[in-house]
């Protein structure tokens, strides 16, 4: 009888390899070519992508990525690699990191786990706490694509999400309380999740329900209510309606309502990245202050917090 050899695949979205126009364009091309992300007909989307979006967006993003770049590389890859390393120290099985787009690729990670380390029981943990077809769904597609070239397929445990995991909620609670302790309690805690098109929800994606689940459990754990905490959605792309309320619009409006001291947390991001460090902590901070706000604190992602690594261990351990 073949002995089980378990392994863990951690997956995040991906990032450019350098804050340069060429590297950003390469990453965006792969990212925006996935129909899980942009599901327009190819004949319509391809000219828009290659003639308009890629040249303009890659040029604009150089400055933004440069503003957050770490000595070791993109924050997303730096923190994700550290998460992989720390989790591997706590487990007695192989752990590899793959990205849906860019490097290290899903194929490179799976080749190591299955072909090199002979794993025949694979636990896949997408690092997206709230399921969406555009994130965890894309991971599923990517793994299936790699498997299509394999002769030997392992048994697979796919962890859909962990929006209500008690250890995850406890880690978020500790992070928020630490911010309150350091900087004082704000007038409002803004809980900002990445948005998706409203059309995806209309077609069956349960992402907003998963976000609301996390939000409700978090504010309950904190002893807060809807008068002191608010859920919003960020990172809108394109012109069709996305989930509302929009984070930036809310932050622009709050000072006129007398709410001038806010803390902002983005629980949907397992590692800090462009959307948190630049969009929230730079762009949205400026919007809030320009509108009359006086105090703004961004509560960092869980990154490599001990509680975060403990959560990952607790999630994957029952499956091997």
Distance CA 125, CA 150 (A): 21
Which alpha helices (H) appear in the chain, and where do they start and end? 21-32, 42-48, 54-68, 75-90, 106-110, 136-147, 166-183, 198-202, 207-222, 247-253, 285-290, 306-316
Q: Does 194 show up as a binding residue in the annotation?
A: yes
How remote is the C-alpha of 251 from its chain's centroid? 21
**Residue 191 DSSP symbol:** E
Please state the φ and ψ torsions of residue 107, each to the nearest 5 degrees: -65, -45
Number of residues that make up the chain: 320
**Residue 319 DSSP symbol:** G
String of DSSP letters for 2-39 = PPP-EEEEEEE----SSSSHHHHHHHHHHHHT-TTT--
Which residue has tokens 């769904």?
137
- What is the arrangement of strands in the sheet containing 121-126, beginning at the earlier edge strand? 95-99, 6-12, 121-126, 155-158
Token digits for 179?
């911010």
Annotated binding site: 194, 275
Annotated binding site for Fe(2+): 194, 275
């Amino acid at each position: 009888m073949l002995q089980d050899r378990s392994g863990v695949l951690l997956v995040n979205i991906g990032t450019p390899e350098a804050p340069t126009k060429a590297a950003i364009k390469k990453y965006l091309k792969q990212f925006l070519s996935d129909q899980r992300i942009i599901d327009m007909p190819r004949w319509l989307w391809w000219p828009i992508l290659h003639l308009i979006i890629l040249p303009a967006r890659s040029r604009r993003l150089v400055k933004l990525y440069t503003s957050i770049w770490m000595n070791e590389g993109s924050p997303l890859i730096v923190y994700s690699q550290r998460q992989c390393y720390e989790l591997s120290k706590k487990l007695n099985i192989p752990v590899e990191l793959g990205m849906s787009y860019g490097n290290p690729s899903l194929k490179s990670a799976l080749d190591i786990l299955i072909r090199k380390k002979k794993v025949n029981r694979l636990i896949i943990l997408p690092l997206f706490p709230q399921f969406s077809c555009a994130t965890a769904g894309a991971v599923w597609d990517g793994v299936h694509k790699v498997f299509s070239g394999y002769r030997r397929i392992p048994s697979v445990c796919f962890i859909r999400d962990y929006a209500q995991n008690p250890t995850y909620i406890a880690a978020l609670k500790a992070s928020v309380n630490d911010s309150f302790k350091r900087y004082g309690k704000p007038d409002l805690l803004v809980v900002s999740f990445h948005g998706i098109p409203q059309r995806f929800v209309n077609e069956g994606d349960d992402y907003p329900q998963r976000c609301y689940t996390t939000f409700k459990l978090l504010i309950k754990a904190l002893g807060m209510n809807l008068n002191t905490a608010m859920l919003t959605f960020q990172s809108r792309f394109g012109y069709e309606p996305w989930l509302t309320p929009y984070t930036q619009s809310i932050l622009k409006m709050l000072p006129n309502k007398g709410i001038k001291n806010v803390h902002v947390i983005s629980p949907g991001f397992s590692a800090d990245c462009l959307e948190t460090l630049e969009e929230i902590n730079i762009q949205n901070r400026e919007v809030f202050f320009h509108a009359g706000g006086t105090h703004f604190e961004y509560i960092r992602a869980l990154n490599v917090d001990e509680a975060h690594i403990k959560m990952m261990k607790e999630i994957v351990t029952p499956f091997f």
